[in-house]
Amino acid sequence: MTSTSGLIGNFGQANYSAAKLGITALSKSIALDMAKLNVRSNCIAPFAWSRMTSSIPTTTEAELARVERLKQMTPAKIAPLAVYLLSDEAKEVNARIFAVRNNEIFLISQPRPVRSVHRGEGWTPKTVAEHAMPVLKASLIPLDRSGDVFSWDPV
C-alpha cells in the first residue's frame, strides 16, 4: 500500500510521503527483478476512513458533511481491487500504481520525461535561465496536494 501523500503531496507529511513514495520504487524494482519468476508487484493508494483521518476538524456543517462522506470510504471498497490483483486474472498487470476512492479506481501514471531541451555546446547557468527554463516552464505542474488533484466528492 502506498499513499497519494507520496504520489502527489500533502502538508505536514514529509516523512510519511517519502516512505510511501519509496514503496512505489521498491514495488517497481520487485516487479522488474522478479518477473522472470512470475512474481508481480503493484501498489494501491487507498482512500479510506481510518484513525489517521479521524482527526479532520468538524467545526462547521460543511466539514461535518465532508467527514460523513469520507466515512463511507471503507477498506471494503479497496478489497475488490486487491483481491483481483492477487488473482490469476491479473497476470498481465505488473508494476502499476492504482488508487481506490470509494467506488472509483484510478491508474496512476509512472514518472516519465515530459519535455526536453538540448544545447549542442552545453549549458551554463545563464543559458539554462535564458533558453532551457522558458521552454520547460510550460510543462511544469503546479504544487498540488492530494485534495487539489482529487477535488470532487467521491463517487
Q: Which residues are catalytic?
A: 16
Cell numbers that stand for 147 in this block:
485534495
How far apart are the C-alpha atoms of 2 and 61, rounded to whole Å?
31
| Cβ-contact 2, 97 below 8 angstroms | yes
Q: Which of 87, 74, 73, 96 is nearest to 2 (CA)?
A: 96
Q: How big is the chain, counted in residues?
A: 155
DSSP character for 55? T
| Cβ-contact 81, 105 below 8 angstroms | yes
| Cβ-contact 96, 43 below 8 angstroms | yes
